Amino acid sequence: MGNLFREARRLPTACELYLLAVSRFASAAVSEPKTHFLIGVVHNNLAQTYQLNSSINQALTHYKQSLACFRPAGDSADPRLVQDVCLKIGGILKKQNKANQAVYYLHKA
């Protein structure tokens, strides 16, 4: 649902739906690696939505949370998605003139 609202440019509603999804998934994520991956995907979608809305610091926070969720997911995490998130974090940090931090994430990609 969040994706539909994001594509319709109803960004605040999309963010609310993504946050609701994160809270619902979080209660099930204790021992299920696939659920960690799904939470990571939702955080990634939320970050993209914040970035579209020019809420860059919130976007950065959720991109980093997305990466944190992918680690416990292990083999369930798509390496291309992890790479994409690292590139997005690196790009944001580069624009914020945080070169050392940007390089760290760009190298992880």
Dist. CA 104–CA 95, nearest whole Å? 14
The range of the structural domain enclosing residue 86 comes to 2-108
pLDDT tens per residue, range 30-80: 556 667 788 889 999 999 999 999 999 999 999 999 998 887 666 566 888
How many domains does the chain divide into? 1
CATH number assigned to the domain comprising residue 77:
1.25.40.10
pLDDT of res. 28: 67
pLDDT of res. 47: 97
Q: Which residues of 31-67 are buried (b: 16+ CB within 10 A; e: fewer)?
A: eebebbbbbbbbbbbbbbbbbebebeebbbebbebbb
pLDDT tens per residue, range 82-93: 899 999 999 999
**Is the pLDDT at 103 greater than 80, yes or no?**
yes
Three-state SS at 77: coil
Calculate helix-pair angle for 56-73, 33-52, nearest 10 degrees.
160
Q: How much is the pTM?
A: 0.86
